[in-house]
A and B are shown apart, each in its own frame.
Chain A
Amino acid sequence: MRRRSRTIGSRFRASPRSNDVTALCDRKATELGAMLRAGETSSVEITASCFERIEAVEDRVGAFLARREDPAQEQAAAADSRIASGDAPAVAGIPLALKDVLSTRGVETTCGSKILDGYVPPYDCTPWNRLKDDGSVLLGKTNCDEFAMGSSNENSAFGPVHNPWDLTMVPGGSSGGSAAAVAAGEAIWALGTDTGGSVRQPASLCGVVGLKPTYGLISRYGLIAFASSLDTIGTFTRGVRDAALLLSSIAGKDVLDATSLDTPKRDYTEGIDGGIDGLRVGVVREALGEGVGAGVESSVRDAIDRLAGLGATVGETSLPHTDYALSAYYLIAPSEASSNLARYDGVRYGLRVDGADSIEMMTRTRGAGFGAEVKRRIMLGTYALSAGYYEAYYGQAQKVRTLIIRDYEAAFSDFDVLVSPTSPTTAFPIGAKVDDPLAMYLNDVFTIPANLSGMPAISIPSGLDEKGLPVGVQITAPVLREDVLLRTAFALEQVIAFDERPRLVTDLAA
């Protein structure tokens, strides 16, 4: 397959600086789309290339909870006919992985939890429904922290995911499987969900692009809920243009989600290469200081210099309530979770542990079915919402949310986009933070504010740290300014020209 793809892809040879990684599964969706249209490859071949890679690395990475080789090949063959007929959408034939919190009709969806082991949704989530209509190919469902609660993917009931850059390290979370799959070439792109950073942080730790659009731009219908006012579906890709392409297929109003925004369907790749001359870039002061790894800080500062080099005006700005955002998040998200997860009662789906009466059955089912972090958050949320404490915790947290939004409004009156590290550190060893919830929660300190405020944000690789692990730089834009966000990220991506791939992948090509 590698030899064949090299021949097929001769017109699309990667730039000379590139690592010699030329399997179809290592290419970007945009390149593959052009090859498909030129008749130089087929979706069946690309899909086979992904499964070949899965076969080669998956026992070490653990990105997938379910693989769908035969159905994927059927979808690929159908996409090939559609492409041959000449009217296929841009995403047609490009293989995709979906985080296992996204409902897929007829395909088991577990949320990484024992309580949903064996659950087969009777309907599709809207993003997959749209992608399927557009000729997408589903490779499988990816591993994640249980109910998307976590920053390391260690909270999955079905085992951890290993970072393709260093298999002893976490891939980040909660969408760790989607991030690792895209980094390792097991999928061309993937969807995840981002409630407090669960797309951007694993993208950062795995050296891929992670986009969290504006809250409400992508329908949440069929996304199994964690914290409904924060949950946002996002994309994992190996390039910014790919992110724009994938977003174009899934974004837009959906009557099945009352919080989805009235935005028309549009092509987000349009104008992406317009450059950023004169753009006002604000560097978030609170995000480059204490607690930020040296390798992270220098890489992000380098990216900021490059933005200036592209003609942007760079200045310092402040989000003064950053410290409080984390506290507010760890009240709001568990509160909403404790309510959303009340549905797992052993009656309609999932696990049931018998009891003498209904209450005992429910209590035992939930005790046996949920893992430690989910229990911790249900307890936290139940307490924060309980009589006598509601005002002091949940009510106050909602006020802090207002202050965070005001911080952004002030910053965006002076700047078009804001820049910070995505995460304070690069990937950390599996097991390092499992017994210290507060240390684990700190992973999300720079990503949480965009969830509390609904702003779109993206993480792109800015380089490697001294340990050879990827660093991510985060760009944030005002609500529904995905155009500015993607244009900035694309311009920066071109000058950073990050073309490193994990050794796991380059070793295969050698």
Chain B
Amino acid sequence: MPVEIDIDHVARLARLELSDEEKERLRTQLAVILDNAAKVGEVATEDVPPTAYAIPRSNVLRPDELTPSLPLEEVLANAPEVEDDRFKVPRIAEVE
């Protein structure tokens, strides 16, 4: 049973602009890959617990000590746009 994917919906979730040609190619390729990947369902039965990390660790703590932060200038030097020691972004809300 071929997988039918709503490419526009997934691209919107991923915040990814795709050309029509890219969408077409992805529709075909993802269907093939997912069709193959669906094989996992053949053996993953109810009684098998999931593994997120092969070597699980929990409550990993380190000493709560103050250390210097990264130098502001070096961090901001990588930003596409900066204003007053802050990252500048386009408008995020409508005005009026």
A residues near B (Cβ < 8 Å) are 118-120, 122-123, 214-216, 229, 255, 258-259, 261, 321, 323-324, 327-328, 330-331, 338, 342, 345-352, 354-364, 366-368, 370, 372, 375-376, 378-380, 382-384, 386, 392-393, 395-403, 405, 437-438, 441, 452-455, 479
B29 and A376 within 8 A (CB):
yes
Which residues of the partner chain B approach A362 to less than 8 Å between Cβ atoms? 15
The answer to whether B15 touches A359, judged by C-beta atoms less than 8 angstroms apart, is yes
Q: Which B residues lie within 8 Å of A367 (CB)?
A: 16-18
A-B contact count (CB 8 A): 182
Tell me what chain B mostly uses at the interface: helix, strand, loop, or mixed: loop
B50 touches A402 (CB 8 A): yes
Decide: A400 and B17 in contact? CB cutoff 8 A: no
Contact with A along B52-90 (1 / 0, CB 8 A): 111101001011000000110011011111000001011
Q: Top 9 A-B pairs ranked by shortest CB distance?
A: A367-B17, A454-B54, A398-B50, A352-B80, A399-B44, A122-B74, A349-B78, A255-B62, A396-B44
A396 to B43, CA, bound (A): 9
- Do B55 and A261 have beta carbons less than 8 Å apart? yes
- Extra contacts, 5 of them, besides A258-B60, A367-B16 (Cβ < 8 A), are A321-B43, A324-B40, A357-B91, A363-B15, A402-B50
Offer 5 A-B interface pairs, CB within 8 angstroms, sorted by A: A324-B40, A348-B87, A358-B91, A383-B5, A403-B44
Which of B36, B52, B63, B89 is in CB contact (< 8 Å) with A347?
Answer: B89
> Contacts of B15 on A, CB cut-off 8 Å?
342, 345, 359, 362-363, 366
What's the Cα separation between A358 and B44 when bound, in Å?
A: 41
* With known contacts A119-B78, A376-B30, A393-B37, A405–B14 Cβ distance under 8 A: no
B22 in the interface (beta carbon within 8 A): yes
The minimal Cβ–Cβ distance linking B73 to chain A, given in whole angstroms, is 9
Given contacts A229-B52, A367-B17, A399-B49, contact A331 B90 (CB under 8 A): no
List the A residue with the shortest CB-CB distance to B48. A399
B17–A364 contact, CB under 8 A?
yes
With A358-B91, A361-B90, A378-B16 already in contact, the answer to whether A327 and B62 are too (CB < 8 A) is: no
B10 within 8 A of partner (CB): yes
In the bound complex, do residue B39 and residue A397 qualify as a contact, i.e. CB atoms below 8 Å apart? Answer: no
Taking chain A's interface residues, is the majority helix, strand, or loop, or is none over half, making it mixed?
helix
A338–B33 CA distance with the chains assembled, in angstroms: 16
With A346-B80, A355-B90 in contact, do A405 and B26 touch (Cβ < 8 Å)? no
A319 to B8, alpha carbons, bound, how many Å?
39
B38 at the interface (CB under 8 A from A): yes
Q: Given the complex of chains A and B, what is the CA–CA distance between A400 and B78 in angstroms?
A: 40
Chain A nearest CB, measured from B26 CB (Å): 6
- Of B30, B60, B80, chain A has the most CB atoms within 10 Å of the CB of B80
Q: A354-B90, A358-B89 are in contact. Are A259 and B53 (CB under 8 A)?
A: yes
Chain B residues contacting A359 (CB-CB under 8 Å) are 15
Q: Whole-angstrom distance between the alpha carbons of A384 and B33 in the complex?
A: 11
Give the Cβ gap from B8 to chain A, nearest Cβ, in Å.
11
B34 touches A229 (CB 8 A): no
User: In the complex, A361 Cα to B26 Cα: how many Å?
Assistant: 22
Assess whether B87 is in contact with A347, with CB atoms less than 8 Å apart: yes
**Best-surrounded residue of B49, B60, B74, B89 (most CB of chain A within 10 A):** B89
Given the interface pairs A352-B80, A352-B81, the reply to whether A405 lies near B51 with Cβ below 8 Å is: yes
Q: How far is the CB of A365 from chain B (nearest CB, A)?
A: 8
- In contact, A122 and B40 (Cβ under 8 angstroms): no
- Does B42 sit within 8 A of A, measured CB to CB? yes
Is the C-beta of B13 less than 8 angstroms from some C-beta in chain A? yes
Measured CB to CB, the closest approach of chain B to A185, in angstroms, equals 34
C-alpha spacing A65/B78, complex, angstroms: 19
Across the interface, do B79 and A347 meet the contact criterion of CB distance under 8 Å? yes
Please give the distance in Å from A176's CB to the nearest CB on chain B: 22
B17, B18, B52, B70 — which one has the most chain A CB atoms within 10 A of its CB? B17
- Are A399 and B50 neighbours in the complex by a CB distance under 8 Å? yes
Say if the beta carbon of B41 comes within 8 Å of chain A: yes
CB within 8 A of A363: which of B10, B17, B57? B17
Question: Is the beta-carbon distance between B17 and A366 smaller than 8 angstroms?
Answer: yes
Chain A residues contacting B63 (CB-CB under 8 Å) are: 255
Q: Complex Cα distance A479/B53, Å?
A: 13
- B80 contacts which chain A residues (CB < 8 A)? 346-347, 350-352
Contact A398 B54 (CB under 8 A): no
Q: Which residues of A sit under 8 angstroms from B91, Cβ to Cβ?
A: 357-358
Q: How far is the CB of B20 from chain A (nearest CB, A)?
A: 12
- With A255-B62, A259-B57, A352-B81 as known contacts, state yes or no: A357 contacts B90, CB within 8 Å: yes
Is A380 touching B34 in the complex (CB atoms < 8 A)? yes
CA distance A214 to B53 in the complex (A): 12
Q: Bound complex: CA of A372 vs CA of B26, how far in Å?
A: 9
Residue of A328, A360, A400, A405 with highest tally of chain B CB at under 10 A: A400
Q: Which residues of B contact A397 (CB under 8 A)?
A: 37, 40, 44
Contact partners of A380 in chain B: CB under 8 A: 30, 33-34
- The answer on a CB contact under 8 Å between A122 and B34 is no
- In whole angstroms, how far apart are the Cα atoms of A261 and B51 in the complex? 18
Task: Judge if B92 is at the interface, Cβ distance under 8 Å.
Answer: yes
Residues of B within 8 A of A259 (CB): 53, 55, 57, 60
Residues of chain B with a CB closer than 8 A to A375's CB:
16, 18, 22, 26
Contact residues in A for B7 (Cβ distance below 8 Å)? 379
Query: Is A363 within 8 A of B60, CB to CB?
Result: no
- Complex Cα distance A386/B3, Å? 14
Known contacts A215-B55, A255-B62, A382-B10, A402 near B49 by CB under 8 Å: yes
Most buried by B among A350, A366, A379, A401: A379
